[in-house]
Amino acid sequence: MLTTGRDGDNGNVLPLRRPQPVVAEGESWPLPALLLGARLKTLRGLQHQKTLIENTGYSATLYSRIEAGATRIDKPEGIALILKKLGVPAGPEFDQLMGLARDASVPGWASSFRSAYRDAVPEAMVRLSELESRASHLYSVETGFVPGLLQSDAYRTAVTERTLRPSQLPLAQQVVNLRAERTRRFFAAEPPPRSVFFLRENVLRQVIGSRGLMVEQLERLLHFVETPQIGVRIIPMDLQLALQVSSVTRLDFEGQLFAVPSVIYNEWAGRGEYYRGPLDGEASSDDFTDFRRVIDDAVRLAPGRDESRLLITKALKAHRSHM
């Protein structure tokens, strides 16, 4: 039986549930790669990677990334060699895992933005854009800006222009297009992920673009406060988080073919890093534990819906009073 915390928090490793299709139309490699990697790591157990990858064409570095679900599978046939070495016989599980390997080779919609605008679109953002719409639960802590998935069109454009380097500004519209498509796909998911967004109060008070733009954005936030499946919680400025972060997102994946750990994405100074949660029998990495604590603190510290609504309303009135 699952234990659930506030806002549906149900832990790191999820038990086997009723299988769902892995790759839907227009989706791509990140989720099947995560599922495949977690299962390969479980099957390997205490066997050394070096012995496993001999004569498979995989380097130790690449195979470590495959087990972490952090890379697209360029050559699915190599996974068949791995499975044979792991002793997986021909049959349903072998076929399922090879299906995941093939699904994990699909570049996907966001990869086209990465290919065309590599200088302005980090690989980590492409992976996030493809994973978040497939998650069952999402928890996001933002201390600098309104979360990308909740941004208005005007706010998204203003933030993009403000955060790109001067040499990247000619690509601003393409980056905006990626972020807009990311948002569209997230809310078009069936069912959409159950999500809770935690914002520091200073995000509401700062002026991005103009006061009028901020009024539009905060009115949009008030709409999301009342939206089913979405939680918007405001962390008052006098409450401190465990770590100084700009953006931390935790994604849970429930109801998949195999139990799969949570993934945490941390963004700082324009760089994004991923940390996979522990599988059964594994110890959690220090990085995963640290950033999970940030999210746990946000869940513990942030007021509920009514007080969060009040904080947004106060900030909205302050912006209107200066127009």
Q: Are residues 153 and 248 in the same domain?
A: yes
Residue 15 lies in a domain: no
Q: Which residue has the higher pLDDT, 20 or 299?
A: 299
Tell me the residue range of the domain where 33 lies: 29-103
Q: Are residues 91 and 128 in the same domain?
A: no
Q: Are residues 139 and 267 in the same domain?
A: yes
Residue 105 phi/psi, 5° resolution? Answer: -100, -5
Q: Are residues 35 and 130 in the same domain?
A: no
Strand 194-200 with 137-142, pairing? parallel
Q: Are residues 144 and 268 in the same domain?
A: yes
How many other CB atoms are found less than 10 A from the CB of residue 38? 23
Q: Are residues 67 and 192 in the same domain?
A: no
Residue 16 lies in a domain: no
Spatial contact of 137 and 4, defined as CB atoms under 8 Å apart: no
- The residue among 156, 195, 159 whose CA lies nearest residue 179 is 156
Residue 12 lies in a domain: no
Q: Which residue has the higher pLDDT, 1 or 39?
A: 39
**Tokens encoding 98:** 């090879």
Distance of CA 258 to the CA centre of its chain: 19
* CA dist., res. 158 & res. 207, Å (int): 10
CATH number of the domain that residue 45 is part of: 1.10.260
Mean of pLDDT values over 136-159:
95
Find which of 19-28, 63-72, 314-323 is predicted with most confidence, using mean pLDDT.
Answer: 314-323
pLDDT value for 1: 27
Residue identified by tokens 């796909």 is: 185
pLDDT exceeds 70 at position 212: yes
- How many domains are contained in the chain? 2
State the number of CA atoms in the 13 A half-sphere of 192 facing the CB: 16
CATH number of the domain that residue 248 is part of: 3.30.870
- The residue among 217, 213, 212, 226 whose CA lies nearest residue 309 is 226
The pTM (predicted TM-score) of the whole model is: 0.84
Q: Are residues 201 and 303 in the same domain?
A: yes
* CA dist., res. 172 & res. 250, Å (int): 27
Residue 127 lies in a domain: yes
Please identify, among 103, 138, 155, the residue that sits at the C-terminal boundary of a domain. 103
Residue 3 lies in a domain: no
Burial class (CB in 10 A: 0-12, 13-18, 19+), 50: exposed
Q: What is the pLDDT of residues 241-279, one digit of tens each?
A: 777 778 999 999 988 777 788 999 998 866 789 999 988
Q: Are residues 74 and 198 in the same domain?
A: no
Residue 62 lies in a domain: yes
Residue 22 lies in a domain: no
Please identify, among 68, 103, 138, the residue that sits at the C-terminal boundary of a domain. 103
Q: Are residues 72 and 138 in the same domain?
A: no
